[in-house]
Structure 1
């Protein structure tokens, strides 16, 4: 009976070691990848000074933005995920929905756009070529998230107005609702750009992004954006940030995902290697001690 129990321990120990090796060598590459079923809605709110083309006057408005990002599973594969992103900015008055039509009778639409882009599921870097539909804009750098295991360094971050990547400079480490985040700073200073379809002007932006270093997800974001004509006339002066509820939701999601990653990549290997080693030693002792007694 003692010998049988020893063989059971040997089998258990071998199983635990195999599980630990799998969790160490194979699992990180699987769990640290952007999911192919991503379907997220991000909400921002703030204020804007906007030129009213009808009156020629600049109006001060409360605004809100809704960004919907969905993965296109048909275009995605094991290495690359393709996203469809829709962003709508509306005047926040009354019971306004997340988005309105261009012919909204109350004129509450500020801007609306749809974009298609692809990123590497591990590094979050932009991917082009066959993954994009005909006519889609090719991009560079990071777009909608940071890589897993983000570092305290500068990254290239895509700016849709400039149509080029800009520097996202590591600024500091801050804790948001119990979650440690890395804060990055993006500055665009009076660059010539197409500020409205078909209209050249001057574009500036000052943006901060708080990133969960484990998952690379954006936890919070604030931005101050200014678009003017080349003569200095203001078209849009925007001050926008994630809503408090959005930040809370992002923190909870990042904590859940981070705990799962920690379990699979750290806890399971630790338990597997230690438990497996102990089981192998105990099993070997019982089996070979039993053999010595039988020989005696």
Structure 2
């Protein structure tokens, strides 16, 4: 007589060994791959607020008007695969009620098209692939994964430089908890623009190179901690023109105390963060120990069944 293993015992043993091998691989291999900036991003965020802007038709600044900022982010998947970086094309338009809905973004009060390239793992800027502008810092359209309770260097595209955002505690958006960061920008000269002299108080000069100045009274962000996704954003921009060498604003191009994510954008960002965060939590927390425990049980049961086997008659010569 001899003992043979049943098919069920072999299946249980094999499944248990597989799960025991899978558990550490989820932590060492799968989770790091999941914590990578996506290539195929396609999102639109909308800010709304009220303030002042320069009406080019009336050649004067108008006040207490609604201002809408729309930002569309689309990933260049082909370039991302080729380079191994996250390549995002970003269209940002500033509109008034007169230009919404805009059939052409070039009809907006202000429109910019940029290409942002970042390292998919660290979120640091990657200088390749037609990047424009060349930027710096460690947080831009998103923060790195696993956001820490510390200050971050945030790239302000209007300023063309880094702004220090200070961690100011927790923040909640649509019931979703995150980390809150705030900062501001003092009045800073950002460039020059050729305009009629009378526009900046110099009527005797037909054209002058007026100085462009920018300030931001209140930058506020609430960021999802696991994913680095921005759940809420608010800004208080002020863009003006000054006569050459003057220390006083002559023309207000754009000014608002607060332009912030709409309710719909907040809900969208929370939904995306919850879905991505849930997957990361499953891969980094629940799934590996669960796979290890279940694998251990199956391997033990299968091993015992294999050891016991079942008695079968031995063929006689």
TM superposition shift of 1:204:
1.2
Q: Is the 8 A contact 2:172 2:222 kept in 1?
A: no
Higher mean C-alpha displacement, 175-184 vs 186-195 = 186-195
- Paired residue total: 284
**Residue 189 of structure 1 aligns to a residue in which SS?**
strand
The yes-or-no answer on 1:65 pairing with 2:69 is yes
Q: 1:204 aligns with which of 212, 215, 221?
A: 215
What's the counterpart of residue 91 of structure 1? Answer: 96
**Distance (whole Å) between structure 2 residues aligned to residue 184 and residue 228 of structure 1:** 26
What's the counterpart of residue 215 of structure 1? Answer: 227
Aligned-residue Cα RMSD (Å) equals: 2.5
Can you list the C-alpha shifts for 1:123-148, whole angstroms capped at 9, x where unaligned? 222111x3225xx3211122210111
The yes-or-no answer on 1:236 pairing with 2:254 is yes
**Alpha-carbon distance change, 99 to 165 in structure 1, aligned in 2, over 3 angstroms:** farther
**Distance (whole Å) between structure 2 residues aligned to residue 66 and residue 146 of structure 1:** 20
TM superposition shift of 1:72:
1.1
Q: Which runs of 5+ in 2 are unaligned?
A: 195-208, 243-247
TM superposition shift of 1:149:
1.1
**Distance (whole Å) between structure 2 residues aligned to residue 213 and residue 190 of structure 1:** 31
What's the counterpart of residue 131 of structure 1? Answer: 129
Q: 1:176 aligns with which of 173, 188, 194?
A: 173
**Alpha-carbon distance change, 189 to 253 in structure 1, aligned in 2, over 3 angstroms:** same
**Distance (whole Å) between structure 2 residues aligned to residue 19 and residue 275 of structure 1:** 11
Larger Rg: 2
The normalised TM-score by structure 2 is 0.81
What's the counterpart of residue 81 of structure 1? Answer: 86
What's the counterpart of residue 198 of structure 2? Answer: none
**Distance (whole Å) between structure 2 residues aligned to residue 2 and residue 20 of structure 1:** 30
**Residue 293 of structure 2 aligns to a residue in which SS?**
helix
The normalised TM-score by structure 1 is 0.87
**Residue 215 of structure 1 aligns to a residue in which SS?**
coil
Q: Which runs of 5+ in 1 are unaligned?
A: none
TM superposition shift of 1:282:
1.9
**Residue 113 of structure 2 aligns to a residue in which SS?**
strand
**Alpha-carbon distance change, 84 to 196 in structure 1, aligned in 2, over 3 angstroms:** farther
Can you list the C-alpha shifts for 1:104-134, whole angstroms capped at 9, x where unaligned? 5xxxx32111111201112222111x3225x
**Alpha-carbon distance change, 82 to 24 in structure 1, aligned in 2, over 3 angstroms:** same
